[in-house]
Structure 1
Amino acid sequence: MVKHGLTARLKRDLRINKELYLILLVPLIWYVIFKYIPMYGTLMSFQNYNMRLGISGSEWVGLENYRRFFSDPYFSRDIWNTISLSLKGIVVGFPIPIILALLINELTNKTFTKFVQTATYIPHFISMVVICGMLKVFLAKDGVISSMVSLFPGVSIKESLLNNANLFATIFIGSDIWQEAAWGSIIYVAAIAGIDQQLYEAAEIDGAGKFRQMLCVTLPCLAPTIIIMLILRVGAVFTTNNEKILLLINSLNAEKAETLSYYIYKKGITNADYSLSAAAGLFNSIINFVFVIATNFISKHVSETSLW
């Protein structure tokens, strides 16, 4: 009886909201094609994959590909580079969108606010190829940034700054902040807009200035959003912007630039070692999943804010 009632309600809902369900169908199909179907490829990590034989006909080798992955001489280096880039990005880059959102919230002129938002959002829409091309030009021996650095006493630039492996993290994270910080601030601006104005009025009556209102009203109300975004960010700690690395890496900075994502690309696409690449990819996904679960668990017990 209950099942019949649920079926009837579902049919009625589909009939009434068929346009909405048709719109939902497009992203659903995309998600199935690009997220669920590729999961079948994880079987390659347990095989000596042969393109001619396919997954169903390739030889099963158990955990051999994982043994090869963990014993690879580049394993520890690439893992460390991945963690280093991600943690530096979180420590330096994560607070920037929050700070930017707080500053935008304090602007009183609507025209100027729209100008600032538009000007800072634009870098997000610039192609990564163009961004990296600009970096190569600006950081070249005679580039704008290199020329400015050369103005400091005792500093002489003899080659592109991109060739300096020790500067790669700074360049990578700095350019990422420039390109994505403003775009990342949108969710915080929206969260601030949803704060009850009566809280600010009450704080003002109590004698709180703008800075005090930000500390006692805005930030506490933003805390749940900040925590959720931090959980998602920590959950992707083993994932780096591989497209950007591919465009900036060279033989001189590879020691610091090669990450786990680049390792997966190199083994799978360049060397056509699909089984090893699949093993590394599955390892990457499992670690990210563990980080999400662990961070969410800690957050739930410390702040009572979590993804579920």
Structure 2
Amino acid sequence: MERRQVWKRVKRRKTLYLFLVPAVAAVFIFNYLPMLGIVIAFQDYTVSQGFLSSPFVGFKHFAAMFDNPDFYDSLKNTLGINVFAILIGFPMPILMALMVNELREGRFKKTVQSITYLPHFISWVIIGGIVYRLLDQDTGIVNIIITSVFGGEAIAFMREPHYFWGIAIGSAIWKEIGWNSIIYLAAITAIDQQLYEAAIVDGAGRVKRIWHITLPGIAPTIIVLFILTTGSIVSVNFSVGGTMTPNFETLFNLRNAMVSSASDNLDILVYKIGVQYAHYSYASAIGLFQSIVALILIVLSNRLSKKVNGYGLY
């Protein structure tokens, strides 16, 4: 009976479902079909033999991965950068959306939105150059202010590893905070305006309206995005709207040899091993490890959300 009802709904909306076909096909071709290549992680893969003929070696590359000191250094950097980025950066788009929503003057509101959205469309290559210019030890505006205004000594920000995490996280927040706030602004517009009107009649101030109406209204969106964000803890390429974790382009364009001890994470390790040294099987083993850990974190955070809040991704 339920199947018949489903097919009836499909027939009634067949035109709408036809519009989904290109999107489903794209996801299948570019997301699911390449998963056949996972088998490379368990082979001594060579391009000439392909993944159908390359010899299987079991967990050889995983054992080598866990015996490699560079893997643990990269894992430390990945976890450190992403955990701090989530703790500091995840609330930022929410606060930005709340502040923009409270602006009443239309022209000023649009100006603020345009200014905060603009960095998202600038390439990380350009952003990296800007950051290097701003933080240059001799000519950077930051060091000019430190030396001229505060009388301090110039700091080699881009040569000292212990500054890199903060620079990478700060750059990612500045670039993406406006763009990621769009999701929360859309969620705010879906809140019933009669709730605000009733709160105003009851004498609730702006802060109380935000706390008791706006935040509970967008809580499901916050929870869903936070669950998805947990998958980015071990992979900077797991980019979802609402996350503020630096991606591969962030770190690759900001890093240099002098800060490699703080900048080289798992994705850069995969790039080095897989692209530069052509050890495809070893790089695939690291990538598979990242994907499995990300999946486990998402599933666990989803279950925790369901127990605590009663809703999650599925």
1:112 aligned partner, one-letter code:
F
Q: Is the 8 A contact 2:172 2:250 kept in 1?
A: no
CA distance 1:9–1:112, shift in 2 (3 Å): closer
Q: How does 1:244-255 map to 2 (within 5 A)?
A: 244-255=250-261
- For normalisation by structure 1, the TM-score amounts to 0.92
Aligned partners of 2:169 and 2:111: how far apart in 1?
25
C-alpha distance in 2 between matches for 1:5 and 1:229: 32
Secondary structure at the counterpart of residue 233 of structure 2: coil
Deviation per residue, 1:195-214 (Å, 9 max, x gap): 11221122222221111111
C-alpha distance after superposition, 1:44-97 (max 9, x if no partner): 100011111111111110000000011101121111111111111111101110
| Partners of 1:88 and 1:5 in 2: CA distance | 48
Letter in 2 for 1:58: S
Q: Which runs of 5+ in 2 are unaligned?
A: 237-246
Other-structure match for 1:265: 271
The residue identity in structure 2 corresponding to 1:288 is: A
Q: Give the % identical residues.
A: 38
Structure 1 residues 147, 30: closer, same or farther in 2, change over 3 A? farther
Partner Cα distance (1:193, 1:113) in 2: 15
Between stretches 221-230 and 88-97, larger displacement belongs to 221-230
Q: Hey, what does 1:256 align to over in structure 2?
A: 262
Compared CA separation, residues 5 and 210, structure 1 to 2 (3 A): closer
Note if contact 2:93-2:180 (Cα within 8 Å) is conserved in structure 1: yes
Tell me the equivalent position of 1:181.
Answer: 177
Match for residue 240 of structure 2?
Answer: none
* Paired position in structure 2 for 1:131: 127
Q: Secondary structure at the match of 2:235?
A: coil
Matched, 1:55 2:51: yes
CA separation in 2, counterparts of 1:39 and 1:246? 25
1:299 aligned to which of 305, 308, 314: 305
Give 5+ residue unaligned stretches, structure 1.
none
Whether contact under 8 Å (1:235, 1:295) holds in the other structure is no
- Contact 1:78 1:259 (8 Å CA) reproduced: yes
Task: State how many pairs are aligned.
Answer: 303
Taking structure 2 as the reference length, what is the TM-score of the superposition? Answer: 0.90
CA 4–83 in structure 1, closer or farther in 2 if over 3 Å, else same: closer
Tell me which moved more, 276-285 or 182-191.
Answer: 182-191
1:238 is the counterpart of 2:204: no
Deviation per residue, 1:94-127 (Å, 9 max, x gap): 1110111111111111111111111110111111
